[in-house]
């Protein structure tokens, strides 16, 4: 492929519809808005619901920015998760860290860190280094004779 082979995306190159340019253009006179009425007159404000209290006023307001503000999680961490059962592929005594998990494609995007979850069981002792662990994962790793090390971000 060469630079001269590049062409604009045909979907994006489509011209916008020009309304109100005569009957022959296909969108003349009423311009696709039908006959009369509120919707034909460009008078509806965004969010107007026909007199019903609009959604943005029905919902309670969010005050301040915190992780607890209506549970929307402004500052919530998004972890890449790995289950304990996936760690059985490593040899006993291996130090399993984030770099090794990425190299073996168990983690493809670190996001805010890596969290080990407790689904499945572990049958060999491993040293696992990650940013967070669930209680079940910590118990499963320690029961198999391994150790858990929490990494700093």
Each domain of the chain, given as residue ranges in start order, spans 80-150
- Assigned CATH for 80-150: 3.100.10.10
Q: State the Rg of the chain over Cα.
A: 29
Instruction: Tell me what pLDDT residue 62 has.
Output: 65
**Which two structure tokens, joined as six digits, stand for 21?**
């340019």
- Name the pTM for this structure: 0.56
Read off the pLDDT of residues 14-58 as tens digits, 9 standing for 90 and up: 788 899 999 998 899 999 899 998 888 888 888 888 899 998 888
What CA–CA distance (Å, rounded) separates 54 from 134?
A: 42
Using the 8-state DSSP alphabet, how is residue 131 labeled?
A: S
Q: How many CB atoms lie within 10 A of CB 88?
A: 13
- Name the residue among 89, 94, 84 with its Cα closest to residue 136: 84
Q: What is the pLDDT of residues 87-108, one digit of tens each?
A: 999 999 999 999 999 999 999 9
């Amino acid at each position: 492929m060469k630079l001269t082979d590049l062409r604009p995306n045909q979907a994006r190159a489509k011209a916008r519809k020009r309304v109100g340019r005569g009957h022959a253009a296909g969108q003349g006179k009423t311009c696709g808005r039908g006959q009369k009425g509120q919707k034909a007159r460009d008078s509806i404000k965004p969010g107007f619901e026909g007199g019903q209290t609009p959604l943005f006023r029905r919902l309670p307001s969010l005050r301040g920015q915190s992780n607890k503000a209506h549970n929307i999680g402004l500052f919530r961490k998004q972890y890449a998760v790995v289950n304990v059962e996936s760690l059985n592929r490593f040899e006993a005594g291996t130090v399993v860290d984030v770099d090794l998990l990425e190299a073996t494609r168990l983690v493809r995007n670190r996001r805010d860190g890596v969290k080990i979850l407790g689904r499945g069981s572990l049958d060999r002792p491993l040293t696992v280094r990650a940013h967070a662990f669930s209680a079940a994962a910590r118990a499963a790793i320690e029961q198999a004779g391994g150790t858990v090390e929490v990494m700093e971000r």
